[in-house]
Amino acid sequence: MSCFQGLFVSPESASLLLHNFCIYHINPPGHELGAASICINDPVPSIEDRSDQILARFNKVWERVTGLILISPLCKAPSWNEWLYNKFISKLLYYYGMCDLVKELLIHRYFSKEVCGNLELPESDMVLACRKLLNDRDSINVWRYLQAIDRRPDINEDLESLECKTIIFVGDSSPFHDDALHMTAKLGRNCSALVEVHACGSMVTQEHPHAMFTPLENFLKGFGLYRPCRYDNSPRSPLGPCCIDPVLLYHEKMGLKLRPIKIRASPPEPRAHEN
């Protein structure tokens, strides 16, 4: 399970994204399935260090970026409330590991109260799956990730130089809702669009992936990217025009000799005459 599983499982979104893009899923160090515990004495790479490693992996791909799709993005340094919240979780992780309280705090950061369950309603399947996933995560590796998140820099000045088109998705129950609003205001309406999803937490891709499809489709149409025809499974460049090669319309050009087929209608049956 990943943060994007719900989005890619959805047939409409999967056909739109997988037809047009080569997808790379990048995990933070130590968060791969079955990853071993990282030594606690090893230095914790900053968010900037991780970004530089990703950009180095893809060479000069950043120079070719024409659009961004952001889910519950962060653009400001942690507030005092977030810093204290993360410190509390970090202390629990360090001394007690992935205990039930830590899982509860993280789940309420990810999802809205509508799917987290209460005395009357049980937890949704996605929350249960996330809880199981947290059980399998190494507590020290999660602790290191929170340390890096706590040290993230403010990137507001960099946003002013961002020129590519951007679409931002955020749940109205997300603790990072204000960051998304602030980022949208910084980027301006000319190059950004904000999609606020009702009754949703930070993981819009898991909680309400169907709400993303129409905005995503309209956003990608601006770049000439479309969803393939429902009955068309032929490989075709997604950037090329949706058309049939003229050669395929003329069998002579394909070296085929087709004979006309004559269809003989069966003679009508004689009508029975009434006496």
Q: What is the pLDDT of residues 23-44, one digit of tens each?
A: 888 888 888 877 888 887 888 7
pLDDT, residue 105, reads 95
127 vs 87: CA distance, rounded Å: 23
Does 230 map to a domain? Answer: no
Does 94 map to a domain? Answer: yes
pLDDT, residue 2, reads 72
Q: What is the CA radius of gyration of the chain?
A: 27
Please say if the pLDDT value at position 171 is more than 70: yes
Does 39 map to a domain? Answer: yes
**Cβ neighbours of residue 29 under 8 Å, at least 6 residues apart?**
35, 38, 45, 141, 144
pLDDT above 90 as % of the chain: 41
Does 70 map to a domain? Answer: yes
Does 251 map to a domain? Answer: no
Angle at alpha carbon of residue 131, lines to 130 and 133, rounded to 5°: 60
Does 88 map to a domain? Answer: yes
Does 182 map to a domain? Answer: yes
Please say if the pLDDT value at position 6 is more than 80: yes
pLDDT, residue 220, reads 92
Strand order from edge to edge, sheet including 165-171: 67-71, 165-171, 192-197
Where residue 81 sits, what CATH number does that domain have?
3.40.50.1820
Does 263 map to a domain? Answer: no
Q: Which residue has the higher pLDDT, 6 or 99?
A: 99
What is the span of the domain harbouring residue 215?
5-221
pTM listed for this prediction: 0.77
What is the total count of domains within the chain? Answer: 1
